Amino acid sequence: MKVKYPRSLKTGDTIGVTAPSSGAQEPLHILLSKAKENVEARGYRVVTGETAWTQQKGRSASKEKRAEELMSFLLDENITAIIPPWGGSFAMEILPLIDWEKLKSAPPKWLLGYSDISTFLFAYSTITGNASAHGINFAELSSPQWDSTSSRWTDVLGCCENGEVAQYSSDHYQSNWQKVYDNPATGFYFDSKTEWKHLSGLSEAEFSGRLLGGCISTLRTLIGTPFDQVKDYVSNYAAEEGMVWYLESVGLDAINIYRSLWQMKQAGWFNNTNGILIGRPSRYKANQEFELVDALSDIFAEDNIPVIYDVDIGHSPPQNILVNGAFAKITYKNIQGTIHMKYQ
């Protein structure tokens, strides 16, 4: 079976903003307004749903309203791409309310986001076979100047079937969010040198396969549910090429990262895998002498596959924009990396 890619996003197209997990409380409406202003200044149209502007008890709205608005955006032929304001904690609630059969027959549509949004992206891609994009969320586009790494979302969504996109490791990353919270809508504050690392300490590595992944903190919720269709996805779309998994985390210590990866491995998620990309963990801490590298080694060392960590993925920006389903070639050399994606 072939991965289905949405049509490319072009200037003049409409981007829909809906909140399948968390919306924005009133003090944060400035982020959505500034992001809309910036995106429209670059030639796109923006349609913002009701859920983006509301928030109560961690949810933008009831699960029914969130599912209904998202479905309406996905089926609206006038909307080319959907970018939620940000993540949250409750995206899994809408999965049973989605008409997956209708989405399988509908034209594929670009969805872009990370954190809890990866819960829906993951299900959307593995259930329908449609590509989706893991990367910057809409609120982060409120910055008056987009950084060179995260801004590649326009190239990634602007590519189409049989096209190719190359992305590179950043120069510096943001180690914490405090300055962003203190100075909303001013962009990221990069304060640390980016260094991709090889788990085995090698200076070079190269591997390839179909991309799939997201946020460990939320994806683990899907294991053992009807929305865990990883085995079928790998069999149908990556039997020959194999997989490249990308994973990142927020708010997990080393032991909980290990537990989550252990559960994924026991569920068969890492079968037929050629390599692993691990994003910089956010709000992370070690457990005494048990570190992130111990967790990764205990899970992947026996598989004899390359594991690159501290990659530009997830909650410690900037981040590369990774397409679920795309065929990717990863090249790593001396703390730097390249991700070359083919939409095939």
Whether residue 116 contacts residue 218, with contact meaning beta carbons closer than 8 Å, is answered with: yes
B/e letters for 22-34, b = 16+ CB within 10 Å, e = fewer, are: bbbeeebeebbeb
Q: How far apart are CA 262 and CA 243, in angstroms?
A: 18
What is the percent of the chain where pLDDT is above 90?
99
Mean pLDDT taken over the chain: 97
**Roughly what angle, to the nearest 10 degrees, separates helices 117-128 and 230-237?**
50
Stretch 151-178: mean pLDDT: 96
What gap in Å lies between CA 87 and CA 89, rounded to an integer? Answer: 7
Given this model, what pLDDT does residue 163 score?
97
Mean pLDDT, residues 299-313: 96
Confidence of residue 81 (pLDDT cuts 50, 70, 90): very high
Q: How many helices (H) and strands (E) does the chain have?
A: 10, 16
Residues that are catalytic: 115, 248, 315
The token pair at 139 is 């609120």
The greatest distance separating any two alpha carbons of the chain, rounded to the nearest whole angstrom, comes to 54
Instruction: Identify the bridge partners of residue 134 per DSSP, sorted by sequence position.
Output: 113, 322
Give the CA-trace dihedral at 261, 262, 268, 270, to 10 degrees.
40
- Torsion angle defined by CA atoms of residues 225, 230, 233 and 235, in that order, rounded to the nearest 10 degrees: -120
Q: How confident is the model at residue 210 (pLDDT cuts 50, 70, 90)?
A: very high
Average pLDDT estimate for 102-116:
97
Asked if residue 171 lies in contact with residue 194, where contact means CB atoms within 8 angstroms, the answer is yes
Instruction: Give the Cα separation of 205 and 213 in Å (integer).
Output: 20
76 Cβ contact partners less than 8 Å away, ≥ 6 residues apart: 16
Q: Considering the domain 14-162 in this protein, what is its CATH number? A: 3.40.50.10740
Q: Is 0.85 topped by the overall pTM?
A: yes
Give strand ranges (E) for the chain: 14-17, 45-48, 81-82, 110-113, 132-134, 164-168, 172-173, 192-193, 197-198, 204-215, 243-248, 273-279, 307-311, 322-324, 327-333, 336-342
CATH 3.40.50.10740 domain locations along the chain: 14-162
Please tell me the predicted confidence (pLDDT) of residue 280: 97
Q: Which residue has the tokens 């987009």?
A: 146
Where do you find CATH 3.50.30.60 in the chain? 172-343
Query: What pLDDT is stored for residue 208 in this prediction?
Result: 98
Structure-token pair, residue 305:
């596959």
Q: What is the mean pLDDT of residues 319-344?
A: 98
pLDDT confidence band for 284 (50 / 70 / 90): very high
Contact, 78 vs 88, CB < 8 A?
no
Q: What is the pLDDT of residues 176-200, one digit of tens each?
A: 999 999 999 999 999 999 999 999 9
* pLDDT of 191: 96
- In order of 187, 335, 336, the CA distances from 311 in angstroms are 20, 10, 9
Task: Give me the residues paired with residue 311 across strands.
Answer: 279
pLDDT in tens, 243-279: 999 999 999 999 999 999 999 999 999 999 999 999 9
Pairwise CA distance, residues 249 & 42, whole Å: 31
Would you state the pLDDT for residue 90? 98
List pLDDT tens digits, range 15-41: 999 999 999 999 999 999 999 999 999
- Looking at residue 221, its amino acid is T
Query: Can you say how many angstroms the Cα of residue 238 is from the centroid of all Cα atoms in its chain?
Result: 19
What pLDDT score does 178 carry?
94
172-343: CATH superfamily: LD-carboxypeptidase A C-terminal domain-like (3.50.30.60)
